[in-house]
Amino acid sequence: MAKKSKSPVAIGPIDELIHTIRGARVMLDRDLAKIYGVPTFRFNEAIKRNRHRFSADFMFQLTREEFDSLRSQIAMSKPHNSSQFAMSSGKHQGAAYRPYAFTEHGALQAANAELVFTSPESRARTINLLLSTISS
C-alpha cells in the first residue's frame, strides 16, 4: 500500500514568511518544510541528497550574522511570536545550525524535484501557492 503524503499545513499569510536577504526575496528552510508538511530535518536531508539541482541562485545558507540579525528582527516585529525561530532552543543557537534560504526558483525546484512530495495534488497546490505569493 502506498504511503500517503501529508497535506501542506495551514500556516497563515505566506507574506510574513518571505524575507529579503542579500537583496533577494527568500523563504527559510523551516518555513518551506512547514508549508510542505514535513519536518525541517527531512526537508534538508532531501535537499542535501539533491544538491546538484540547486544552484547558488536557488538557495544559500545564511551566515551567522544574517541569522542573528533576522532572528532579532522577527522577535522585535512580533512580540507575541513564540515560534521556534524567534524563541530558538539552545540546540538552534549554536554555530552548527544556520538555516538555508530559498529564492522563488529554489522553492519551486524543491516542489518540482519531488523532494518532499509523493502526491501530485499536494505538489500542484503548493506550487500554485508559492507562485501567487513569492512573485508578487
DSSP assignment of 47-62, as one string? HHHTGGG--TTTEEEP
* pLDDT of the residue at 66: 93
Query: What tens digit of pLDDT does each residue of 59-109 get?
Result: 999 999 999 888 887 765 555 444 444 444 445 444 467 899 999 889 888
3 burial type by CB count under 10 A (0-12 exposed, 13-18 middle, 19+ buried): exposed
The residue that leads in pLDDT, 38 or 57, is 57
16: how many CB neighbours lie within 10 A of its CB?
A: 13
The amino acid present at 88, given as its one-letter code, is S
Residue 2 has pLDDT above 50, yes or no: no
Average pLDDT, the chain: 74
Pairing of strands 24-28, 59-61: unpaired
* pLDDT of the residue at 95: 46
